Amino acid sequence: MTRKKNELKTDEIRRRSIITGYATMVLTCTVGAATCFAAGDPISTVNNLSTFIFSLIRAIGLILLGLGIMQVGLSMKSHDPSARANGFLTLAGGIIITFTKEILNMII
């Protein structure tokens, strides 16, 4: 009998802690939400978003560029021609992705 009472108390405490945690999370999200206002000029907002996206693309390109350099170096060390070809392809892809914005500006 006492074991069941202890289990019921434990379950009730667990339920209360879950409900309290959920209520705290909802309250934090509600109170902490910032009011966002649109900018006066929508073109500047689009330009800012474009700049942000191109900076992310540039970061990915730089990562690929570093990976390509590493692959070429490792292939030179192991004298593996297929790995060398993959390294140069990754290197070329990294360069193209890094300078995507400049390439698009030259085309347009």
Q: Does some domain include residue 77?
A: yes
Domain annotation covers residue 74:
yes
Predicted confidence band of residue 26 (pLDDT cuts 50, 70, 90):
confident
The reply to whether 10 falls in a domain is no
What per-residue confidence (pLDDT) applies to 1? 54
Name the token pair of 60.
């990915």
Is 57 inside any structural domain? yes
In a domain, 101, yes or no: yes
Tokens of 22: 């959920």
The C-alpha atoms of residue 105 and residue 52 are separated, in whole angstroms, by: 16
Rounded to whole angstroms, how far apart are CA atoms 97 and 71? 17
pLDDT band at 14 (very low <50, low <70, confident <90, very high): confident
Q: Is residue 48 part of a domain?
A: yes
Say if 84 falls within a structural domain: yes
Q: Would you say residue 36 lies in a domain?
A: no
Q: Which structural domain range is residue 63 located in?
A: 43-108
Q: What confidence tens digit (pLDDT) does each residue in 29-85 have?
A: 777 766 666 656 778 888 889 999 999 999 999 999 999 999 999 999 988 889 899
DSSP states along 62-103: HHHHHHHHHHHHHHHHHT-HHHHHHHHHHHHHHHHHHTHHHH
Q: How many domains does the chain have?
A: 1
Q: DSSP 3-state helix, strand, coil percentages of the chain (rounded to 5)?
A: 85, 0, 15
pLDDT of the residue at 91: 92
